[in-house]
Chain A
Amino acid sequence: MSPPRRRYFNAEGIVVRARDLGEADRIVILLTPDRGLISAVARGARRTRSRTGGHVDLLRHITAHISEGRSDLHVISQVETVNAYLPLRNDLDRLTLASHFAEISERFSLQNAANLHLFALLRDSLTYAESTPKPILPLLRLWHETTLLTTVGLQPQLHRCVRTNTEIPPGDHWFSPSEGGLIKRPDQADTNTSPDPIAFNHPENTPIILAPLNTIKLLRHITRTPNWGRLEGLRVDARDVAGGSRVMGAMLRYQQERGVGRAERVMGEVSS
């Protein structure tokens, strides 16, 4: 009986994670538009004369001819780079930000589950990270995180109170990561102190965060602006961006069920 024929497929994807395997191989995790996350081995990729090695480094947009494995681990037989994002590799701040994008995109993706929008968001965000002026990078991060949550169906509720379902009036309010939206601040509450824990804290004890008026306005504007090009030119106070990042960061951490991300930790040391 002849051995079963190997099945091949072509895939386009971005390398979101890679790790060494054995003597000279590398396992890469690709975020693809039509198959979600796929894992594949690039044989001999760490050898200096490897034909695949240079193409399967992290944060590369590639097309690959892949031999289907018996398990979920496939084998890359041919690979070409679509975009190496070279400017990211020459700037530590851009590189760590791009790694953060890749990390959270992977966390919200599934194996063998197509998600064209998530792939396109990562591809576009990496392109924007190449050339966005450095002072605007925190806004790009906030846009990416907010758009990612919206893409995966977790858009924060910024217009109605998640507890009372009443409209949020203009002013400072609270944001609950576990409930996914704003909590209307009672008139008597002082925004400079924590609210009454019994009345305000969620049963899961996730701390709620102060969301000042301008932060709320900015987040609302971002959720209405899926196009980064229209947001890039916006003049925004750095404090409002930082406020928005605190809110979105807390929501991301809650949804991922873990603390500070790997790239975030490195970003903290790089920027300090």
Chain B
Amino acid sequence: MAAFRPDPPRSITPAAPPSDAPRGVAAPVSRVIEAFRRLPGIGPKSAQRLAYHLVRMPEAEAAELSEAITGVKQRIKLCDICADITEEPVCGICSNTNRDRTVICVVEEPLDVTALERTRAYNGLYHVLHGAISPTSGIAASDLKIKELLQRLQGQKPSEEVSEVIVATNTNLDGEATAMYLQRAIAPAGIKVTRLARGLPSGTDIEYADDATLAHSLESRSEISD
């Protein structure tokens, strides 16, 4: 079973009061402030506000939050098939027999699965890469779940033969690099590789669209039907 990649161990017990914590703050509170500071999008002020909110919180609620945080790290793992985050060895989507098993949508992150599922427009399976090839950040194909995807495509049952792989990576440079790599790796197997359409988002002003978006919009233009 694929284990969820743990974060490198980091102590959150500071030897001295952390610089972000205000002076005179009790050590347990400054420890919580320091822990919150490590979360994405949380600055020192937000970390302090959250920490003091915790101090005022009823003990039962605080215990529930604490249990939820430890639970998420202990219970979740990666799906053996698609590498999405799940509690079971195989996630709900992969084990659902009503899903179309001939189409796989490749996404960068588990959150992308949630976004695509919200549309209710897709009934196939997924494969989560856990990142994108990034020449500027030094993230190569071997750092992602690409090998697992290729193995999955090779080892498929004849009755569930995949006919199409939809590459739904982001439309930035890293996403494009990943899409091109996947196309290069999968196409020789005779499987159709498609890319999500790129163009103008709903409600946008054309004058603010960048050249690449406009060029893709022109390429993917469609006839107006009655």
Binding site for B on A (CB under 8 A): 16-18, 22-23, 48-49, 51, 54-55, 57-60, 81, 84, 86, 89-92, 95-96, 99-100, 102-103, 261-263, 265-270
Bound CA–CA A55/B214 (angstroms)? 12
Total of A-B residue pairs, C-beta within 8 Å: 85
Contacts of B177 in A (CB 8 A): 92, 95-96, 266
Evaluate whether A54 and B135 lie within 8 angstroms (CB atoms) in the complex, with A49-B201, A49-B204, A265-B140 already known: no
- A54: which of B40, B134, B213 is its contact (CB, 8 Å)? B213
Whether the Cβ atoms of B181 and A270 lie closer than 8 Å is yes
Q: Knowing that A54-B209, A261-B138 touch, tell me 4 more A-B residue pairs with CB under 8 angstroms.
A: A23-B41, A55-B210, A57-B212, A95-B176
Which of under 10, 10 to 19, 20 to 34, or 35 or more describes the interface residues of B?
Answer: 20 to 34
Contacts of B180 in A (CB 8 A): 90-92, 95
Whether the Cβ atoms of A269 and B210 lie closer than 8 Å is no
Bound CA–CA A266/B131 (angstroms)? 14
Contacts of A266 in B (CB 8 A): 133-135, 138-141, 177
Task: Give the Cβ gap from B189 to chain A, nearest Cβ, in Å.
Answer: 18
Whether the Cβ atoms of A269 and B141 lie closer than 8 Å is yes
Bound CA–CA A89/B177 (angstroms)? 8
Task: Give the Cβ gap from B171 to chain A, nearest Cβ, in Å.
Answer: 9
Task: Give the Cβ gap from B106 to chain A, nearest Cβ, in Å.
Answer: 16
Q: Which residue of A lies closest to B201 (CB)?
A: A48
Task: Give the Cβ gap from A115 to chain B, nearest Cβ, in Å.
Answer: 20
Bound CA–CA A45/B95 (angstroms)? 37
Write the B165-200 contact mask toward A (1 if CB under 8 angstroms, else 0).
000000011101100110010000000000000000
Bound CA–CA A22/B40 (angstroms)? 6
Bound CA–CA A266/B133 (angstroms)? 8
Task: Give the Cβ gap from B68 to chain A, nearest Cβ, in Å.
Answer: 21
Task: Give the Cβ gap from A268 to chain B, nearest Cβ, in Å.
Answer: 8
Write the B201-226 contact mask toward A (1 if CB under 8 angstroms, else 0).
10111001111110100000000000
Contacts of A51 in B (CB 8 A): 205, 208
- B173: which of A22, A57, A268, A269 is its contact (CB, 8 Å)? A57
Max count, chain B CB within 10 A of own CB: residue among A55, A100, A268: A55
Task: Give the Cβ gap from A12 to chain B, nearest Cβ, in Å.
Answer: 16
Max count, chain B CB within 10 A of own CB: residue among A58, A84, A268: A58
Write the B62-87 contact mask toward A (1 if CB under 8 angstroms, else 0).
00000000000000000000000000
- A86: which of B133, B172, B211 is its contact (CB, 8 Å)? B211
Whether the Cβ atoms of A81 and B210 lie closer than 8 Å is yes
Whether the Cβ atoms of A89 and B212 lie closer than 8 Å is yes
Task: Give the Cβ gap from B204 to chain A, nearest Cβ, in Å.
Answer: 6
- B215: which of A55, A86, A267 is its contact (CB, 8 Å)? A86
Bound CA–CA A234/B184 (angstroms)? 30
Contacts of B211 in A (CB 8 A): 81, 84, 86
Bound CA–CA A59/B212 (angstroms)? 12
Evaluate whether A57 and B172 lie within 8 angstroms (CB atoms) in the complex, with A51-B208, A266-B135 already known: yes
Is B137 on the interface with A (CB-CB < 8 A)? yes
Max count, chain A CB within 10 A of own CB: residue among B41, B137, B203: B137
Bound CA–CA A56/B29 (angstroms)? 39
Is B142 on the interface with A (CB-CB < 8 A)? yes
Task: Give the Cβ gap from A251 to chain B, nearest Cβ, in Å.
Answer: 20
Contacts of B40 in A (CB 8 A): 22
Offer 7 A-B interface pairs, CB within 8 angstroms, sorted by A. Answer: A48-B201, A57-B173, A86-B215, A89-B173, A95-B176, A99-B173, A265-B138
